Amino acid sequence: MKTALYENHVRLDAQLVDFAGWQMPMRYSSTIDEHHAVRKHVGMFDVSHMLTVDFEGPQSTLFLRKLLASDVNKLSKDGQALYTVMLNERGGIIDDLIVYRLHETSFRIVFNAGVADTDLEWVTSWQQTTAYSVSITPRRDLSIIAVQGPNALQTVVELLDCPQLISVQPFTAILHNELFIGRTGYTGEDGVEIVCPNADAPKFWNRLLDAGALPCGLGARDTLRLEAGMNLNGQDMTPDHTPYECALSWVLDLEPSRDFVGQTALEETNRHGIATKLTGIVLQGGVMRSGYEVQSNAGLGTITSGSFSPTLGYSIALARIPRTSTGECSVLIRNKHKAGRIVRPPFVRHGEKVHK
Amino acid sequence: MSETPQELRYTDTHEWARTEPDGTVCVGISDFAQDALGDVVFIELPETGTEVAAGAEVAVIESVKAASDIYSPVSGEIVRVNDQLTDAPDLVNSEPYEGGWIFVVQPLSDDPNADLLTADQYQEFCETDSNEH
C-alpha cells in the first residue's frame, strides 16, 4: 500500500521499506542527520500509514470508557487528548493510541499501522456486543504529517499563518481550515501532528519542505522515540503483556464503576504480583537489538527494543527484566557478554541526556 | 549511483579487496554496501594474528538499523586492523575505499584475486541484487 505522499518520497530518493504492508521511507539521506534535525531544528514524518478513526454518537463516551484503559471523561474540553491503551480481556495490550475529544459526542483515535485492521475489527465487534449508539468511521481519506523539533511550532505557525497554535497546550488539538493540528508526537521534542485530506497532503508536504522541515524516515522515528523512552507496539508491548509489564500503569484508571475491557484481569494480575518490568539499559562497545538476552542481578530478561542513540553516542535499549533487577547487567551480543547498566527511561529529553 | 573502483576486486558479500605492493590484501566494504547499511555506528574488529579462511566471518559492522557480518575475501592471517574505526566508524560511510578500510590479510595464496569479482562483475551483481529487493 502507498500513502498519499508516496510520490513525494520517491522524488526525494527515499530508501523505501515495507512496514505493515505500506511502502514507507526508512531514510532519505542519513538516519543520524535526520535524528539531529529533529533534536535541534525541525523534521517531518509521513505517518499516514497510521489509521485515523472517528467515533460519533450519543453513546460514544460510554463506548470509549468501555474500550480504553483511561477514562475519556477526563477530557473536559473539545480538542483535549490523552495517551492510553486498548486492552484485550486478559489485560494484554492490543494497541497504544491517542484519543482526541472532537465534540461532546465525538472522538478521534489514531491506531498504529501494524494493528489497524485488528483494532478496527475489535472496536466494531464491541460496538455490536454493547449495542451502544456510536458510529465508527475509519478515515483512510486522511493523511498525517508529524512536524517535530524545537522549531516545529514556529515553522507551522508561519507557514499556515496560525498564531493561535503557539498557545495550544501539549496534548491538545485545534482545527485550522481543513487541518486538524494536535500538539503531540513520538520523538520527545515539541511539535505537532497534522491531519489533512489526502488530496492536500503532497502540496502541504512540499510547503513544509520549503519552510525548512527535513524529511525524516522510520529509522529516525525509531531512534528518537527510543531516546524518549517511548514504547513501540508489537515490540515493547504485545497482547501477552499488561500495562504493568510495559511501564504503562500510569495510564490506567481503575475506578471500580468503569468496568473497561481488561480491568478485571488487571486487578487479578495485580493481586498476584507482577514479576517483570520494562526499563532501560545503556551499553558501550556494541549495539543492543530486540531479542538479545539480558542477565541481571535478579535473573534473565530480554531486550525488546535496542539501537544506537545518536544524541548520546552509545547503545540504548528497552528491556523486560525481573522486577527487582538493578545496577549492572550483562547483554549477550553475538555470543559475547557485554557490560550494560540498568537505567530508568527516558534517556534523552529536549536534546539532553537525562538518564543517571 | 555508487562508486566501484576498477582497480579493486570484490566479493558477492560486498567486501572489496586491494592487493598492496607488499603482497598483503587490504579489505573494506563497497560504496554500494555502505549506502545500503546506512550510518555505521560501531565496528567489532578482528584481532591481529587471527588465521582466517576465505568466506569466514571476521568483523561485524553495526549500523543504526542492523548488524552485518564482514567476511574475509581471502584465506590467510590478519596482520593489521584499522583502529581509527573505533572512534570514527563513520569513515566506512564517508570514505569506504580509503579511511574506511577494515583489516589487512597476509594471504596464503600467491594469487589471492583468483576467485574474486572484477569491478564490472561486481557492478552487474549489485544491479541484479538491488532489482531483487
**B112, B104, B52: which is closest to B79 by C-alpha?**
B104
Q: Which of A289, A308, A334 sits opposite B41 (nearest CB)?
A: A308
Residue whose grid cell is 450519543? A58
DSSP string, A308-320: EETTTTEEEEEEE
Rounded distance between C-alpha atoms, residue A305 and residue A222, angstroms: 9
Residues of B in contact with A285 (CB under 8 A): 42
Strand order in the sheet with A43-46: A173-176, A179-182, A191-197, A142-148, A43-46, A214-215
- Is A26 in Cβ contact with B39 (below 8 Å)? no
DSSP structure class, residue A346: P
What's the whole-number mean pLDDT along residues B4-8? 96
User: Residue A118 belongs to what H/E stretch?
Assistant: helix A116-130
Best residue of A23, A29, A31 to probe chain B, by most B CBs closer than 10 Å: A31
Residue A13 confidence (pLDDT): 96
The stretches in chain A having pLDDT less than 70 are none
Whole-angstrom distance, CA of residue B124 vs CA of residue A69:
55
Q: How many CB pairs under 8 A join A and B?
A: 37
Cross-chain residue pair A308–B42, CB shorter than 8 Å: yes
Cα distances from A60 to residues A55, A84, A102, in angstroms, run: 6, 16, 11
Confidence of residue B131 (pLDDT cuts 50, 70, 90): low
Cross-chain residue pair A285–B38, CB shorter than 8 Å: no
CATH of B9-126, one of 2.40.50.100, 2.10.109.10, 1.50.10.10, 3.40.50.720: 2.40.50.100
pLDDT value for A97 = 98
pLDDT over 90 percentage in chain B: 87
Closest by Cβ to A219, choosing from B44, B60, B64: B64
- The residues, ordered by sequence, that sit 6+ positions from A1 with a Cβ below 8 Å of its Cβ are A21, A22, A23, A49
pLDDT-derived band at B132, boundaries 50, 70, 90? low
Q: From chain A, pick out residues whose CB is under 8 angstroms from the CB of B38.
A: 15, 26-27, 30-31, 219
Residue B18, classed as helix, strand or coil, is strand
Residue of A nearest to B34 (CA): A30
Residues 6+ apart with CB under 8 A from B99: B82, B84, B88, B91
The answer to whether A221 contacts chain B (CB < 8 Å) is no
Packing angle of the helix pair A31-40, A218-227 (nearest 10 deg): 50
- With beta carbons under 8 A apart, name residues in chain A contacting B60: 334
Q: How far apart are CA A258 and CA A269, in angstroms?
A: 18
- pLDDT tens-place string over residues B57-71: 999 999 999 999 999
- Residues of chain B by 3-state class (helix, strand, coil), percent to 5: 20, 30, 45
pLDDT confidence of residue A66:
97
B1 has a pLDDT exceeding 80: no
CA atoms of A275 and A281, how far apart (whole Å): 18
B13 neighbors B57 (Cβ within 8 angstroms): no
Residue B133 pLDDT > 50? no
Q: Are strands A43-46 and A214-215 parallel, antiparallel or unpaired?
A: parallel
Question: How many other β-carbons are positioned within 10 Å of the β-carbon of residue A133?
Answer: 14
Task: Show me where the domains of chain B are located.
Answer: 9-126
Per-position DSSP letters for A40-109, written without gaps between them: HS-EEEE-TTSEEEEEESTTHHHHHHHHBSS-GGG--STTBEEEEEEE-TTS-EEEEEEEEEEETTEEEE
Mean pLDDT of B92-111: 95
Q: Is A277 on the interface with B (CB under 8 A)?
A: no
Number of residues that this document lists for chain A: 356
Confidence at residue B109, expressed as pLDDT on a 0 to 100 scale: 87
Q: Could you tell me the pTM of the whole model? A: 0.95
